[in-house]
Structure 1
Amino acid sequence: METDTAMEAWQRLEQLRDDLTGSGWPCNLAGTRDQPVLRVRNPWVPVMEDEIVYTGDTFCWAWGPKIGDNAQDVAQVIRHVLREVSGP
């Protein structure tokens, strides 16, 4: 049986996914209903990708650091971090 926390995490990651895909960034929900993860990829540089989780009160990189609690702000941070890096 799903917990309210797991359902909220799934819903918040869906919200973030919608924001990112709306701006052309491919992402998909993966993991389980109890431990969902959002996989995000830079559309122009596919090797620039990462996973995002929702801890119950904030979005975090799957490897630990917090990003924020507002999906639109978090989407902006993700796009910035996974951006294409220009030459020297």
Structure 2
Amino acid sequence: METMQTEQHIQNFLKDRICELLERPELSDDLMLDTQLSEVGMDSVMLVNLMVHIEQHYQIFYEDDELLEENFATIQVISDKIQEKLGLGD
């Protein structure tokens, strides 16, 4: 699969899960790649849930030292990390 297409897929997956976890489907249109997730109401419990979704969906694993809030700050940051773990980096 082409990297750009994969990146878009990952970002859409993240946006869908975030809106689901926040129970705010209407947020989808306003959620940008650089939106701070803490600003839209994502708390640490939701971030853990999001991480579990990511691990299951992409068959990847986050190490304990990666479980930092800054690694889950925005959709772009999370997407970049997933691509890195999938070996799709530049």
> TM over 0.5: same fold?
no
Q: TM (normalized to structure 2)? A: 0.33
Question: Which protein, 1 or 2, shows the higher relative CO under an 8 Å CA cutoff with sep ≥ 6?
Answer: 2
Q: Which has the larger radius of gyration?
A: 1
Larger helix percent: 2
Larger strand percent: 1
